[in-house]
Amino acid sequence: MGSYLSRYIDNSAGEESGVTSFHSSERWQLHLNAHKESSQLLVVDFSASWCGPCRFIEPAIRAMAAKFTDVQFAKIDVNELSEVAQAFGVEAMPTFVLLKKGKEVDRVIGAQKDELEKKVEKYRSV
């Protein structure tokens, strides 16, 4: 999955953060399709640049990505990729959608760091 997908991902959030930002629906769809073949947990952070709670929890998300290196973390700006947010039924920010094999297994709505971390722990090895 690595080198093939790296051509389609804009990692402007920084490689060191462990969180991949997507800026096009096509790139996101490629990533999601590739994830359907993987049993690895994917946590999708739906947020917005103007959202205070989103900015507040961002350092905690980066810390989780560094801690849980066996989990993929993705970030999608709901204003930039509104069609992706709509497809996932996102109505509040931040919303974290947890996916396994491309299917939603759980979600956390709001900047609830502890709840998100518990769910990541629960699903990462299931």
- pLDDT higher than 60, residue 2: no
Per-residue pLDDT tens for 88-99?
999 999 999 999
The residue-averaged pLDDT of 100-125 equals 96
Per the CB < 8 A criterion, the answer to whether 28 and 76 are in contact is yes
Q: Is CATH 3.10.580.10 the right assignment for the domain spanning 2-124?
A: no
Catalytic hit among 42, 44, 54, 81: 54
Short-list 30, 34, 12, CA closest to 21: 12
Q: Give residue 38's pLDDT.
A: 87
Model pTM score: 0.86
54 classed as catalytic: yes
110 classed as catalytic: no
Catalytic hit among 19, 43, 51, 97: 51
Give every CB contact of residue 84 below 8 A, 6+ residues apart in sequence.
Answer: 22, 25, 28, 76
Give every CB contact of residue 73 below 8 A, 6+ residues apart in sequence.
Answer: 18, 19, 20, 42, 43, 45, 61, 64, 65
Per-residue pLDDT tens for 6-52?
333 344 434 446 899 999 999 999 999 999 988 899 999 999 999 99
Per-residue pLDDT tens for 48-85?
999 999 999 999 999 999 999 999 999 999 999 999 99
